[in-house]
Amino acid sequence: MEKMERFSLEGKTALVTGGAYGIGFAITSAYAEAGARVAFNCRSQEHLEQALARYHEIGIDARGYLCDVTDEAQVKSMVEEIRNELGIIDILVNNAGIIKRIPMTEMSVEEFRQVVDIDLNAPFIMSKAVIPDMIKQGHGKIINICSMMSELGRETVSAYAAAKGGLKMLTKNICSEYGHCNIQCNGIGPGYIATPQTAPLRERQKDGSRHPFDQFIITKTPAERWGVPEDLKGPAIFLASQASDFVNGQILYVDGGILAYIGKQP
């Protein structure tokens, strides 16, 4: 096999949850560029149509599905639809997620549960739905979009950090349970990525200066910049391809070096 063929996704079917914009859109696009048949979901018809138009503009034939990934019945129905239309799902990326930046003592139990439901329970539901087909066909790739908050805590993100820490351990456990079935489950831990979700943290102040958090991230990151969704394309293709067949249960942090860096002396 030619070296670069190991990174090809020709003939594969990939599903990226939350693939309408941001990181999910970039990964879905990367898989299509690598030869895969691609599908994504979102919960809004409006966002679904907007995303399909964007994929069409860049020449990608992506299939979009309306589905709430926290609803097991809807997930089963979507997986069956994709199986019938595109084939068995070879690659699942659990990307859909939310964050609520609220101090812990001010966060309601309902808000905490909502974050955990989307960021942790949904990847469990999605993985559970695709693993039986992966077992039958003798191979599969599951990639969970974790976070630096899988390793670190920070003010106002208690629910998100709890969910992403749990997702890291779900990743390791899927590897442990199904590695013998030639299923690889790994995670990608993005650093601070410039997406619509993080836009409020990058807004310029009235005097033209950087947002304090923006400046904090630039200072703490050896690359001295925010990441962009395209930075995740290579890692996502690697973990979805044959090139990573002996990589399992790992979290690949794509963070510009922030987790390796203690920071400059004040």
Catalytic residues: 160
Distances (CA, A) of 66 to 4, 32, 82, 232: 35, 20, 12, 25
Q: How far apart are CA 91 and CA 134, in angstroms?
A: 9
DSSP assignment of 179-202: GGGTEEEEEEEE-SB-SGGGGGGG
Residue 44 buriedness (CB in 10 A; 0-12 / 13-18 / 19+): exposed
Q: How far apart are CA 68 and CA 21, in angstroms?
A: 16
**Cβ atoms of 16 and 121 closer than 8 Å:** no
**Cβ atoms of 166 and 174 closer than 8 Å:** no
